[in-house]
Chains A and B, each alone.
Chain A
Amino acid sequence: NAGVTQTPKFQVLKTGQSMTLQCAQDMNHEYMSWYRQDPGMGLRLIHYSVGAGITDQGEVPNGYNVSRSTTEDFPLRLLSAAPSQTSVYFCASWRGEGTEAFFGQGTRLTVV
């Protein structure tokens, strides 16, 4: 059972480039979220989804897009990378309200 899989683990982008961070889960969880982790700020919610076809914005959505075409996948797109998006990104999934969230291993993104 793989759990939550994030790819890539590391990525360096130039300012203005676009890319997609992949997140896949094999637990048939309805809820999925993307967070960014920056020193001293904990994890901040970027976008979340409560099921296929349903997404919503979190605390820091600017510069990021998401879609949820299947239960398993929840990709995060950076349309035009900026140095302020240098961070560690975590994807999480969970079965429903109040249940345990399972996290991927993270993607460390550097924008130069």
Chain B
Amino acid sequence: AQSVTQPDIHITVSEGASLELRCNYSYGATPYLFWYVQSPGQGLQLLLKYFSGDTLVQGIKGFEAEFKRSQSSFNLRKPSVHWSDAAEYFCAVEKTGRRALTFGSGTRLQVQP
């Protein structure tokens, strides 16, 4: 079955530390890839997206993600985490022609002072 996997349910990092959130997908061809962030009680906001070309994409709020075709992965990174980054992060894919997003189960990020 086609799916999106975020293996880490909950991650805690110290403020200023680096962050990597993992995402793997299982589709026959490379889909459109997205990372969204959800602050408590809010809707989702797009951080970044990948369609083709350069495998390292830059997003808002200092986030970046790297697409690795051989590993079917699209991991999200940030060099130095801020307390305001505490939120839930969702990886999503849109299969070409599917016209809807499929989401992973999310990773909740907690930031310690």
Interface residues of A (CB under 8 A from B): 4, 31, 33, 35, 40-45, 48, 50, 58, 90, 92, 97-98, 100-101, 103-106
Residue numbers in B under 8 Å from A43 (CB-CB):
44, 90, 101, 103
A97 and B97 contacting across the interface, CB-CB below 8 Å: yes
B51 and A48 contacting across the interface, CB-CB below 8 Å: no
- The reply on B29 being an interface residue by CB < 8 A is no
Residue numbers in A under 8 Å from B49 (CB-CB):
98, 100
Residue of A nearest to B51 (CB): A98
CB distance from B51 to the nearest CB of A (A): 6
- A101 and B99 in contact, given A41-B105, A42-B90 (Cβ under 8 angstroms): no
Sample 20 A-B pairs with CB under 8 A, ordered by A number.
A4-B43, A33-B101, A40-B106, A42-B4, A42-B103, A45-B100, A48-B99, A48-B100, A58-B100, A90-B43, A92-B44, A97-B32, A97-B99, A98-B49, A98-B94, A100-B49, A101-B34, A101-B44, A104-B43, A105-B43
Residue numbers in B under 8 Å from A48 (CB-CB):
99-100
B105 and A92 contacting across the interface, CB-CB below 8 Å: no
A90 and B105 contacting across the interface, CB-CB below 8 Å: no
Residue of B nearest to A106 (CB): B43
* Interface residue ranges of B96-113 to A (CB < 8 Å): 96-97, 99-106
- The reply on B11 being an interface residue by CB < 8 A is no
* Interface residue ranges of B25-53 to A (CB < 8 Å): 32, 34, 36, 41-46, 49, 51
Q: A31–B41 Cα gap in the complex (Å)?
A: 24
- The reply on B17 being an interface residue by CB < 8 A is no
B99 and A42 contacting across the interface, CB-CB below 8 Å: no
A45 and B102 contacting across the interface, CB-CB below 8 Å: yes
CB distance from A107 to the nearest CB of B (A): 11
Residue numbers in A under 8 Å from B44 (CB-CB):
43, 90, 92, 101, 103
Residue numbers in A under 8 Å from B46 (CB-CB):
100-101
A50 and B101 contacting across the interface, CB-CB below 8 Å: no
Residue of A nearest to B91 (CB): A42
Residue numbers in B under 8 Å from A92 (CB-CB):
44, 101
